Amino acid sequence: MAHWTEQSIADELYQAEAERRDRRPFTDDWPSLDVETAYRTQARLIQKKTATGQTVTGVKLGLTSLAKQKRMGIASPITGWITDRMQLAEGTPIPMGDLIHPRIEPEIAFVMGRRLEGPDVTAETALSAVESVRAAFEVIDSRYQDFRFQLPDVIADNASSSRFFLGSLSRHPKDLDLAAEECVLRIDDRIVGSATGSAVQGHPAEALAQAVNALAERGIALRPGWIVLTGGLTDAATVNAGERITAEFANLGSLTVVGKSPH
């Protein structure tokens, strides 16, 4: 039943997000859907978003942790696009009524100071193009039932991107040891996870370098001012209405968000 095309998958994912509806992965019907086709589909999906007034403000890296990569059978991160509409100011409740089944993950974010383009970018070169480092929360929300997907499905779905928050503290990368940077994730004062920056591909700058080199294969460079979400440090935690979720970083400050209550 391979009636799907790049455009019809992009249209369906766009509608599913707008209608807050989850669905079966496309690879169920189209088992030969490959990663390259999935990235072209992702590009069509983001074109639909920019056509309705959203502006691309950066990229997100996904599946950076060894555990997630083993599960998906990959060795380097996937990428998705982030837009201005996805960013929420700290203090804004997570809009539970607009989302399907949100999960949250603490991340280290980079703001690019210089253009960065692969191939052959190393972690060191990558980090030298970063202007500042910020704490972040990414709220992911797969358009697939129970987050069940194959790699091409999640790539087409813009790597489950949904919303994100940046912390207010901005640090220079030279002043930090990002592999050692610790983060504790709490839900209503219960510790639900902890990790250091090394959870992301050994070092978030290594993840950035790998992603930039992969993006270059599709002719994409990172622009000055763009935000990069470098990937979940801990396992993603399910968000429920009324919960208070905090990421406490050793040197990047802490970030607290709440799941919006129904009343």
Residues lying near ligand OOG in the complex (CB under 6 A) are found at: 60, 62-64, 68, 105, 138, 140, 142, 147, 154, 159-160, 231-232
Q: Please select the residue that binds Mg ion; options are 158, 232, 234, 249, rule is CB under 5 A.
A: 232
State the minimum distance, in angstroms, from the CB of residue 50 to ligand OOG: 21
State the minimum distance, in angstroms, from the CB of residue 230 to ligand OOG: 8
181 binds Mg ion (CB under 5 A): no
58 binds Mg ion (CB under 5 A): no
Q: Of 128 and 226, which has the nearer Cβ to ligand OOG?
A: 226
- How far, rounded to the nearest angstrom, does the alpha carbon of residue 158 sit from its chain's CA centroid? 9
Q: Of 150 and 161, which has the nearer Cβ to Mg ion?
A: 161
Q: Of 68 and 242, which has the nearer Cβ to ligand OOG?
A: 68
Residue 159 interacts, among ligand OOG, Mg ion, none and using kind-specific CB cut-offs from 5 to 8 Å, with ligand OOG
Size of the site for Mg ion (CB under 5 A): 2
State the minimum distance, in angstroms, from the CB of residue 86 to Mg ion: 12
State the minimum distance, in angstroms, from the CB of residue 149 to ligand OOG: 7
